[in-house]
Structure 1
Amino acid sequence: MTAGPEAEESPIPADSSASPLPSATLGADKKRSLEQITLLLFITVPFVALLASVPLAWGWGVSWLDLGLLVVMYYIGCHGITIGFHRYFTHGAFKAKRPLRIALAVMGSMAVEGPLVRWVADHRKHHKFSDAEGDPHSPWRYGETVPALLKGLWWAHVGWMFDAEQTPQHKYAPDLIKDAAVRRVSRQFVLWTTVSLLIPPLVGGLATWSWQGALTAFFWGSLVRVALLHHVTWSINSICHAVGKRPFKSRDRSGNVWWLAVLSCGESWHNLHHADPTCARHGVLRGQLDSSARLIRWFEKAGWVYDVRWPNASRLDARRKDGVARREERTSQAA
């Protein structure tokens, strides 16, 4: 690894509490815990389903109902991760009314990417040591040669989740642990995983009034959907730290990967995010689609969120690389 720790605003809250924090979330920092075993199962099983989906779709097709369930459930979980787990709980890009705060915690949990507190702790540690020693999932972990980068891409994409080392949650997410409602949702990871997987077959079975409808809905709307969302999310850790354009200054190798923008709900505009971690919008240049930012804007207009950290031209220009600033590529804050 070549880059040093970032000098931008730290996403890690100061732990100034004088009394011990409440008991940590389900599994705490143990190497083997119930949610880790569950996560392992729902990494491998949905991935097998994703591989099987290609010949199945080619041979028998996929119904509009199954496709609709896949898309709807995908974007519920995706925005739960991008708006909730990432921009809100990890970086505090805005403040949310309590009902939306809990809803975002539940939506993110339904993406089946691990408990909220652990997800946030890992990501805050990633920002503290981005692409440097201590980063949980840098693709540059093993060096810069082609074989080393290939090994590092696998590590950043999925391998790091099987590492024995766990990020201490009390150190990196004390604010979330102290929130009883958030702590409860995080402990209920297995429950929300079950709910997430059962909604598609329930809807499919009732809509077709058949077990076959429930089964195909479970395959496409649960297993394939979870696998696709997993690998898109993990691609932000791997691909977006190895390739992509870098118009903004950051002390790592985060890049913008345009072809992941729609599937990642705007997360693949990753260079600006690492240049300005608390910004509520990641796709700030002209033509950069960011559905997460659009939803945050709608939430703001509805009065559900406030104190949103939107970008502005001067803030962006201060983070641009020399010679890159162009007035026609200014923020779309007013959009």
Structure 2
Amino acid sequence: MTAIDDRSAAAPTRVTRGADHQSWPERIALGLFIAVPFVAILAAVPVAWGGWLGWSDVAITFVMYGITLHGITVGYHRLFTHKSFKPNRAVKIALAVSGSMAVQGPVIRWVADHRKHHKFSDKDGDPHSPWRYGNNLRGLTKGLVWAHVGWLFDPEQTPIDKFAPDLAKDRDLVRISRNFWVFVLVSILLPPLLGFALTWSWQGALTAFFWGSVVRIGLIHHVTWSINSICHAVGERPFASRDFSGNVWWLAIPSGGESWHNLHHADPTSARHGVGRFQLDSSARIIWLMEKLGWVRDVRWPTPERLAAKRAA
């Protein structure tokens, strides 16, 4: 079993297809990938009411949501950003691919942005702090919009060589990052293919595309972005952190446990974020299961002593 490893002698000159500055075509594509799923979410209730939602759609959407969500939470976040555990190569690749299918950007780019967020959390330099424009009502409203989605259109990109040089040396992750668009296509096309296979009808393929591709991508986007915005504006703060990260209980299940955000910022490398009673954390449970199966090792589980040291006075 091997941990994340350097599979190249030197870092490639370009680890993603994007440049250091976001181009106008990239912004237009980004806008479409945000707007279309959002419109689909708004249309979801009348579409379901009209009978365009079957059990195959529910099953496909649920499975695709779970796979791609945990690709972000377990893979992009707890593994690649914070190195909360060490995986074998197959797990590493599977998590990078499933995270890419959440359509939130190449893994190395995502990690660079998130590491920068932790370095400057809720201070100047944070890519997506809701406190960017001040703490009055007008400033916080503007800041919440920025933290939720506005920051994605910032033309200035986080330098990978500064915030993710370790990942830029991993040939597997470079290849997956550079071929991000392939996994986006897989993420979009797989649900309608499954819908057709389960129903043997074009209507089944179409409804699976609507729910399992478009709505599912929109939901994952806004749940993830809510961690950046809502969880840095409200919530309980039982642990001492140098920012405004809080616990938002009603986001715990859809976010895979990421909304227990206060402990995460108090102890970023912890493999479990929900440490209190009834604090559901499906991402931590998946890591626990992979550890039991021998697929990962050196998991950084929180200990009572460490939790006590992190608690707010």
TM surpasses 0.5: yes
Matched, 1:241 2:232: yes
Which one of the candidate residues 138, 143, 159 is aligned to 1:152? 143
Is this contact kept in 2: 1:240–1:268, CA < 8 A? Answer: yes
Which one is further off, 203-212 or 140-149?
A: 203-212
Native 8 Å contact 1:176 1:182 kept in 2: yes
Report the Cα offset of residue 259 of structure 1. 0.2
Aligned to 1:8: none
Q: Answer whether contact 2:52 2:207 (CA < 8 A) is retained.
A: no
* Shift, 1:209, TM fit: 1.1
Number of positions where the alignment pairs a residue of Structure 1 with one of Structure 2:
305
**Partners of 2:124 and 2:19 in 1: CA distance:** 24
Structure-2 separation of matches of 1:189 and 1:53: 27
Deviations along 1:124-144, whole A, 9 cap, x unmatched?
000000000000000000000
Are 2:61 and 1:70 equivalent residues in the alignment? yes
Secondary structure, counterpart of 2:161 in structure 1:
helix
Q: For residue 3 of structure 2, what is the aligned residue in structure 1?
A: none
1:123 Cα offset (Å) = 0.1
Q: Name which of 123, 134, 142 aligns with 1:132.
A: 123
Partners of 2:71 and 2:98 within 8 A in 1: yes
- Alignment correspondent of 2:78: 87
2:205 to 211, 214, 219: 214
Residue 245 (structure 2) aligns with = 254
**1:2-21 equivalences in 2 (<5 Å):** none
TM-score of the aligned structures, taking structure 1 as reference length: 0.88
| One-letter amino acid matched to 2:188 | L
Shift of 1:46: 1.0
Instruction: Give, in angstroms, the shift of residue 184 of structure 1.
Output: 0.4
CA separation of 1:88 and 1:255: change in aligned 2, threshold 3 A:
same
TM alignment of 1:1-335, pairs within 5 A? 22-32=13-23, 37-60=28-51, 62-322=53-313
Q: Which amino acid aligns with 1:299?
A: M
Ranges in structure 2 where 5+ consecutive residues have no aligned partner: 1-8
What amino acid sits opposite 1:101 in the alignment?
Answer: K
The worse-fitting range, judged by mean Cα deviation, of 36-45 and 101-110 is: 36-45
- Supply the distance in 2 between the matched residues of 1:61 and 1:22 (Cα, whole angstroms): 48
Which deviates further from its counterpart, 162-171 or 86-95?
Answer: 162-171
Cα drift, residue 47 of structure 1: 1.0
> Structure 1: which amino acid aligns with 2:184?
T
1:22 and 1:177 in contact (8 A); partners too: no
Which consecutive unaligned segments of at least 5 residues does structure 1 have?
A: 1-17, 323-335
For 1:99, the aligned partner's letter is A
Runs of 4+ in 1 over 4 A off after TM superposition: 18-21, 33-37
Amino acid at match of 1:128: K
> Displacement, 1:248?
0.0
Output the amino acid matched with 2:292.
K
State the Cα distance separating 1:36 from its structure 2 match: 5.4
Q: Which amino acid aligns with 2:157?
A: Q
Amino acid paired to 2:108: V
Q: 2:38 & 2:273 partners in 1: Cα distance?
A: 28
Seen in structure 2, the aligned counterparts of structure 1 residues 162 and 300 have a Cα distance that, compared at 3 Å, is same
Cα distance per residue 1:213-234 (max 9 Å; x no partner): 1001000000000000100000
TM-score, structure 2 normalization: 0.94
1:35·1:115 contact (CA, 8 Å) conserved in 2? no
Q: Is this contact kept in 2: 1:73–1:221, CA < 8 A?
A: yes
Identity of aligned residues (%): 66
Counterpart CA distance in 2 for 1:198 and 1:91 is 31
Paired residue secondary structure (1:60): coil
Q: Which amino acid aligns with 1:173?
A: A
Q: 1:37 to 1:115 in 2, by over 3 A?
A: farther
